[in-house]
Structure formats: C-alpha cells, structure tokens
Amino acid sequence: MVTNTTEGVTIKINAPDKNTVEKFTSDIKLQKPYVSVIENIRAKEVTHIDFKSFKIGKSKETKDKFQLISPDIATCALCLQDINNKQNKRRYYYPFTNCTNCGPRFTIIQKMPYDRPNITMHKFTLCEDCATEYNNPFDRRFHAQPNACNKCGPKLLLVDKHGKKIDSKSPIISAAKLLR
C-alpha cells in the first residue's frame, strides 16, 4: 500500500524476509519516477497486514512535518507529441497537457499533500477518458493530479481589447503573432 503524506510517501509491503525488503528498496531507487527525488528511505517492521492487491491509500496530513513542494516541470517529449498530433482529438493543441513526468506542481498547489482536491484543478471534474488514464497504473497519467484535456480541463482563449473572443486554433500562437 502506498500513501501520500505531508511528510513524504509511506509504502507498506508484505515481505518474507529482510533480503526482500532490501531488494524492494533498491528497486525503488532504480525505478523511481523520472522527476522524483528520494532523500532517504527508512524501513521498519510493523504488524503484518494481509494485502490482497496493490492499493493507493487516502492521503494523510501529518502535523508538524514538512515536505518540499515540487517545482513545475517543462512539458515532456511524449506530451509534446500529444499536443502536436492531429489524431489526438483531446490533446491536439491543448496547452495544459501534462503527465506524471511533467506539468505544473508549485504554481497550482493550495496545500499539502499534493492531491487533486488540494490543487487549483479540483474545480475541473475529469472526463471519462481522463479518469481512465488517472486510474490506470500502466498509463503515464496514472495519478497525474492536474490531468485534463480539452473536454474537461481549463480553456485558453484570446480576446481583443474589448473582451471579444478571437477565433483561434491556438491562442498562444495567435497571441505571439500579434505581438510581432
């Protein structure tokens, strides 16, 4: 079981012996998420819990503990491919495309732990497709807190000096052209 806390991440595993625990912690260091930083790992023996399957537990707020807030991370190559792929109806030219390897963190967080209810994106309910990505452990958007698309996420638009919307496939590109 994995749980987000205001102190960091807590992982509880069933292991038959100390060697298995050491292998598990070694694997975590080697296979950690691309943008993560592991400052330390503490292992301790606790009462046995019979886990039937992998589970992400409800986040916990720990009093008087401090966790660094992750910085925003530039859009990764895979998300850029999504943005530039005309076949990707949900993310083609969608400026807020992100995954667990990129996207906003620091600029959208309202409080720890870093979970969707605690970020500005909580106002946007995930569409069925985004919810499927968010809940699929094999998807790169698995538990990507700001996950969204043009169906369910924030919209970007360009307006003139009178507040009238200017039709544009890409408001960012159009705004850049207007600034030249």
Q: What is the pLDDT along the chain (180 residues), one digit of tens a residue?
A: 888 777 778 888 888 888 988 898 899 888 887 777 888 888 888 888 888 788 888 777 767 666 678 899 999 999 999 999 999 999 999 999 999 999 999 999 998 888 999 999 999 999 999 999 999 999 999 999 999 999 999 999 999 999 999 998 889 889 999 898
Separation CA 68–CA 144 (nearest Å) = 18
Q: Please state whether the peptide bond connecting residue 113 to the residue before it is cis, i.e. omega within 30 degrees of 0.
A: yes
Beta-carbon count within 10 A of 130 CB: 20
User: Going from the N-terminus, what domains does the chain have, and what CATH number goes with each?
Assistant: 1-66 (no CATH), 69-180 (3.90.870.30)
